[in-house]
Structure 1
Amino acid sequence: MFLHYHEHTHCSLFGSVPHTSSCTKYSLDERIVYANILDGASNGSDSKKLRVEEAPPSRVLHIRKLPNEASETEVIALGLPFGKVTNILTLKGKNQAFLEMGTEEAAITMVNYYTTVTPHVRNVPVFIQYSNHKELKTDAGNQRTQAVLQAVSAVQSGGSPSSDVQEALAAASSPVLRIIIDNMFYPVTLDVLQQIFSKFGTVMKIITFTKNNQFQALLQFSDPVNAQQAKLALDGQNIYNSCCTLRIDFSKLVNLNVKYNNDKSRDYTRPELPAGDGQPSIDPSVAACCNAAVAAAAAAAAAGRVALAGQAGSSGVLLVSNLNEEMVTPQSLFTLFGVYGDVQRVKILYNKKDSALIQMSDTNQAQLAMSHLNGQKMYGKIIRVTLSKHQTVALPRDGLDDQGLTKDYANSPLHRFKKPGSKNFQNIFPPSATLHLSNIPQDVTEDDLRLLFSNAGGTVKAFKFFQDRKMALIQMSTVEEAIQALIDLHNYNMGGNQHLRVSFSKSTI
């Protein structure tokens, strides 16, 4: 039977040709295996079906029950979300195809995904399983096959889609992307994501959340094609220079259910949705403060890359309210807000001493501090942090004394982020009960540090030295106690002119 089949096999990517010398790259044994696989899949033989189902993982996948009118590019599109597609063999007479992925891992991911989400080509469900073959040995001389594969490869490397690949992209499975932000030095807001991704199509919904100490988002396009294009162009790119790296894959969801329009979620098709209990709605000033930066990112994204979008150059000023006016000082605000950026000036308002203006070195640092510190407890009061309309914090006029309420820190040696490439850029975390200590003198013991932090007014719950004993983790009983300890003990002189360095940690003990 298989000899008759191979006399009429279709081995061209863009059409059927008879079995000739141009298609003799398969050995006789290989042809027998292919024929047996196809016979078992299409003729209902239980024993042959079993062999197919039990095939071990392979980067070559066998696709069955394709509709008659399915194009080769639509078959390629099935594999595009999961990695590089390196080869294809279509068998139109059998409504089947073999697709070769760049790696076995990509093929496994694809099979696992389509086990839970039935793949469709032209609204017809198709079946995907591992092939018994480890690679496809098709005719390298087929110019059209090679052209479309090269076009697909170019898009996956950030190039512009050709018309053939555009057709392939149309067969993408889900309009919803899952986005993880790595190395998140600057905050990434809903508006940042919307403006970057909207260059590839209409963004309908976005939900943001934190999972495993990572900022993540689900983003739904109006069309799966747009999701495909955005993933191919943006995966692995940076939103801002050297940070905020996009890691993108497809969600198993096909529709997002958004209940509230606020700073965590947004349904752009339903502006009437409420903000939700306890959730602030989006402040237009928050989006406006970095429009220039986001516009730069969006323009770059349209070209298939996300380039320098941050550090817009203008200063960012924060308004901090509900402070404990009996306890707060410019120095305490400088130390706490300095965890998230280089504080230039601090001004406690003369006629409203429970409020202060804090000037950061740029708008991105201001947003970062706001996103992490708004709603935190400092000296027993929950502070509120918003963006100020002021562009700078003014110093007192010469000869006028504002009772030490305004301080200029522009030349402070304690700025954490002045040194380019500093490790501090990679170690910025939300306030937590666990603090990271560094620059510890060799003769300082665990008991010394426990006593020091207990005297700061908190309860030490756990302690752990790093192997070199120059660094340690110390866990306080609450986040508020950790904030207080950081304010009091960052830059504390441990003797011998060694000053303790304190920051928030993402770890627990």
Structure 2
Amino acid sequence: VCSSTTTSGNDSKKFKGDVRSPGVPSRVVHVRKLPNDINEAEVISLGLPFGKVTNLLMLKGKNQAFLELNSEECAQTMVSYYSSVTPVIRNHPIYMQYSTHKELKTDNSPNQVRAQAALQAVNALHGGGIGSVAISSDASSMAGGVAQSPVLRVIVENLFYPVTLDVLHQIFSKFGTVLKIITFTKNNQFQALIQYADAMTAQHAKLSLDGQNIYNACCTLRISFSKLTSLNVKYNNDKSRDYTRPDLPTADSQPSIDHQAMAAAAFSAPGIISASPFGAHAFPPTFAIQQAGLSVPGIPGALASLGVGHSSMAAAAAAASRLGLSGLAAAGGHNVLLVSNLNPESVTPHCLFILFGVYGDVMRVKILFNKKENALVQMSDGTQAQLAMSHLNGQRLHGRAMRVTLSKHTTVQLPREGHEDQGLTKDFSNSPLHRFKKPGSKNYSNIFPPSATLHLSNIPPSVVEDDLKRLFASSGATVKAFKFFQKDRKMALIQMGSVEEAIECLIEFHNHDLGENHHLRVSFSKSTI
């Protein structure tokens, strides 16, 4: 009987019997060759499709675990299924067999307390109390030995914020390598087809994500298996992507697939209608930590608990205007940001206008008269404010880490006529430098977090590499690398010594006059040189 959860030598002696298991069925399954960084929730999810998981013992030092199911029959189904389909977690094939133990007896050691917390969280997530994991219809058919497709069909309900292909990729990559994604709208619903390398990984992702919200209280994932077993992606763009074929053309103006044919094949699977038991939060707190291992400040809680980074949040919010959702997002107000911990010696309304203008159209900026470390920045809508906050909170400007939060103010007041405020308040609503005024502007799809590499465009033919390197070095920054785009010499990448230097160079040189009626356009790049 197992009585300890430490990974001491005594344990390995206790568990040696399992390695030579004679194959006699037991409701305890011995799982081997687990990756080093696996967590309890992931191990539990291996057993979820086959019945209730009633106990768990992790031997992290040995890369092994013992999973107790509620009946011998469930364990038999699990072992026989995995003997024909080897599960893969983070590119590790996992092996399992019956344990010589008939049940697990566990103690109150810290490891075991953590395992019990994970059990509670996962069981709650799947609709039961402790030790009562509900089996979904897909999992039941799988438990009967029917292998499912590696392609998931995802419907995003309650689409309050836009969801992009990159957001989906980052969420679904938590569970294994995503090979291909196709997104489209059908029956007025945003949908996606997501292909993993194998059905087991797809099953794991489905069990963990079905019914969850991407953002707080909205963008709910409804996931079922597709009838397709492979996706045919013709173009890599913002609608479809084949991650195994970076050579595919973009063909932005053309539809990425024949939706009618794809729809006919993919959508006879029944929809899943169970709602998330946690309402506004994607995961209960313990599960969020187990599952994702990190959270991101300044992002709505549900997405943060998935560990989805700033760039995806950016892509999501940036697409708002394209989907006509910016008004919706703005309906809640919150389009004024409070920026604090600024350097009062260096900050100006213009510099905040240029920096925050990377993430939305800045209407007004006010540096507070009595407290010049603080400023109010009014964006054109709530989505853009959220976007700027998620990217710029914590970034360094003029030697200080900025703090960016939503302000209680709904507008920035201009000084009354005759009341001069030393130029601390500026109205930029008619500025020609707004990046997002034009509907469908390319700028929407090129929003990235601050990075050391800057994207330069609108470079006249007479300006050569040395001119630009000299220009950027003139600010005192270090230029580490430079590269013109091969196909379009109007564009280039320039890599600065740090993200902070890049931020200051963007502020200084965006709209810089290069002559010949060419004003330099500067933004952050997702690429490196």
* Structure 1 length-normalised TM: 0.48
* Structure 2 length-normalised TM: 0.46
Q: Quick check: which has more Rg, 1 or 2?
A: 1
